Amino acid sequence: MRRDIIAALRHCLDKHLSMRKSRLESFCVFVVGVLLSRTINLSHLAGMFPTRAEIASNYRRLQRFFEQVELDSDQLARVVVRIARIGSGPWLLALDRTSWKFGRRDVNVLMLAIVHNGIAIPLMWDVLDRAGNSTTAHREALLSRFCNVFGAEAVAGLIADREFVGTAWMAFLVENNIPFILRIKDAFQIRLADGRCCPVVSLFRKLAIGGRRYVREDCRLGSRGSALGPPVKLAATRLASKELLVVATNTDPGIALANYRRRWEIETLFAASKTRGLNLEDTHITNPERIAKLIAVLAVAFTFAHTTGEWSARHRPIIIKTHKRKAKSIFRVGFDLLRKILIQGGREAVQCWNAIMTGQPPNPQGPRAGPHPA
């Protein structure tokens, strides 16, 4: 790996991340190494340092990075937003988990991401120390971190699946002025504005496939004998599978279903982070703190690739196949193009980082579709 490519990236990130030069260089080696090799294997990445040191020394240097370096999650979130060029909000956020097993150990990541252009941009995360669902405390801590950095006014809406519903959790969102669209189980009990209690499913029993219905008057989850959640409105549709999809929201129910439909974009992020891109599951690391640092590297690498893809798609629209889907995702287009620029090296590769960080478009006429000089 050429020294000038790493130095150029380090120079760009040095303005935004508070790390010593040697540790920031290790971070940059991780980012470029993951993009070039599509692996997070430390033994492989140790051979990519632009130094004459032995591979064993570089390997130990990477190990020390995970053992000793403290990454500022607030700074990382701001860097990701800057790379993604998505302004200051308000954004539609998605909250979800991804998990896998390494041997007998469970790796369980709670992710908060910005829904954007067909995929989600990873922003903040918490690596849980156990398998299974997150707790209300985990979710509150993650949203509180977001609000401390960007403010509650930066949330246009929070989308989450049925796992992320609860009286205390929903009350927290309301108290902090966070709009939400949460899918709920149709077996839940609901108390209507007139005081009647009934299962959610009974309200939408006659809903046909593709049909929609709304409860625009405030109602509350919970029956007479249970704790009541905050006032919500409901929106429902019947899926092609005949399953009932119901969301509870403290916003306009008329747009809630359209917003909730975009929840799949965080699933696309997880796929790009794993087998379809950066192969996060290849790691042998299971320590939660170290996994969180690894995800920070992947978040920066992923966002660089996606931003490159957006620029490329503006000048060379992605082919739409006969099934009405794109031949490649924007992330994949950017991932392939960025890897090509870095592999070829030279002046364009060195200029690439500054071009992305400053928001300058690529040169569509250039022989390598690389970026203009910063």
Strands 232-238, 155-160: pairing is: unpaired
Residue count of the chain: 374
Any domain includes 289: no
Amino acid at 224: R
Any domain includes 130: no
Domain count along the chain:
2
Share the mean pLDDT of the chain. 85
pLDDT surpassing 60 at residue 199: yes
pLDDT digits (tens, 9 = 90+) for 62-104: 888 888 888 899 999 999 999 999 998 899 999 999 887 666 6
> Could you give the strand order of the β-sheet that contains 91-102, starting from the edge strand earlier in sequence?
119-128, 105-116, 91-102, 155-160, 180-184, 244-249, 232-238, 212-221, 189-191, 197-199
Any domain includes 203: yes
Contact 13, 28 (CB under 8 A): yes
Contacts of 15 (CB under 8 A, 6+ apart): none
* C-alpha dihedral (79, 85, 89, 95), degrees to nearest 10: -60
Q: Where are the alpha helices (DSSP H) in the chain?
A: 3-14, 21-37, 42-45, 55-68, 73-84, 136-150, 167-175, 200-203, 253-260, 264-273, 288-315, 330-344, 346-358
From first CA to last CA, the distance across the chain in angstroms is 22
* pTM across the whole model: 0.87
Any domain includes 159: no
pLDDT surpassing 60 at residue 368: no
**Backbone angles phi and psi of 276, in degrees to 5:** -95, 10
Any domain includes 99: no
Question: How confident is the model over 120-135, as a mean pLDDT?
Answer: 90
Any domain includes 369: no
Q: How far is CA 263 from the centre of its chain?
A: 11
pLDDT surpassing 90 at residue 172: yes
Question: How confident is the model over 146-152, as a mean pLDDT?
Answer: 95
Q: What range defines the domain where residue 186 resides? A: 180-250
Q: Report the distance separating Cα 34 and Cα 40, nearest Å.
A: 6
Any domain includes 45: yes
Any domain includes 216: yes
